[in-house]
Chain A
Amino acid sequence: MPDIAKGHTVQRYDQELSQVRDQVLAMGRRVVEQVNAAAGALTEGEIALARQVVDRERHVDRQEMAVDEAIFNLIARRQPAAIDLRLVMALSKCTGYLEQAGDKAEQIAWCALRIKDREARGAVPRTLHHVRRLHRIASRLLDLALMALADIDVDRALDVFREEGELEEEFDAAMRHLMTFVFEDAALLGQVIDVVFALRALVTIGDKASNMAEQVIFVAKGTDVRYRNKEILIATLSQASSSSAPGGGPE
């Protein structure tokens, strides 16, 4: 996969584009850490870890502001065009998505804190099974989206679309099970509500990964695929990549 942030006649421009992308990817790695820590804090009942997530959310916010400033300066100084413009736009949007995913990690941490506050033993283990499963899916989607963004890799972006359906399926299954627990033991209601909040937050994190994958397609193909049917998109792009050689044109 060619590095699109390289090859300008003005090499300083390459560096500036690469720096912005590295900043966004670094922010992405921190968000992944936050999501993993928040989910771990909830499933393992680790108060200290949950507090750490809440505390570190400020760092994610600061990274967002730093990326915004870098993009603001880059647009003012370089007036990017074509694929550079699409990349800068996409990085700006991805920064927003990552910040929102970071907020959701903080929400999960607060759920862990509330549950522990309400019940010293922490959550009842059987309510947490789905948190682990949804966390695994959301975390993988986020990883895939970041890898896709790092290399502007359309195939990886399509993998995000292929796998995101599991989120809603898992969430629906979780809701059915959790309702059963509440019917069996009404005392679990408060805890279940917090777990549902956490599950919903994990679904949203997966959605943000999907949003980022859309931006990768936008950079690579120049077409805005938001709000498009993903099945058709996967079929179209898979077909396109298998039937045509990339790049080129008459020499």
Chain B
Amino acid sequence: MKKFTTLTTQVVPLPIENVDTDQIIPARFLKATTREGFGENLFCDWRYDASGSPRPDFVLNNPIYSGKALVAGKNFGCGSSREHAAWALQDYGFDVVISSFFADIFKGNALNNGLLPIQLSDGFVQRIFLAAETDPQAQVTVDLEAQTVTIETTKEYESFEINPYKKSCLINGYDDIDFILNQRAAVEQFEQQKAVV
């Protein structure tokens, strides 16, 4: 899995609430059998019109915004469990998604792929939106070790929570399978006890 430590980047603001995984990657693009290439169709129906032309009012088509952090409204990633949503965001070039609230399955999928979901207060997310609106070049710094996000133009910062186990996985690039395989004896013992009951 991809490692994550710190990142300083411009942000891509998407101040929409309840962004569901069908918007992130519509189902008709889930026919692929590998993890690569989904970035091309990230937010496809918001990015392109029916004829395939870019919609100029959508943020990914606005050349003044770029960067490795997507900042979105609350309840990001709700709906379908498709991990393709996390793959698409990562394949497009995002390493971080910031929101005031994440749906559970999306959050887990992101963490399992080294895409860092950061939950901040609604007030702080609004300040990032404001900073990006004021100056599209405005940068944020994400420090996973310190668990902080700092708006570089104003030096305002906020701490975020992350499960310590998941944090160490991200910093070291480990995944859950390595962890459970290491506990194989305990799993087999559990199965034997269960069979006896």
Tell whether A pairs with B. no
Interface residues of B (CB under 8 A from A): none
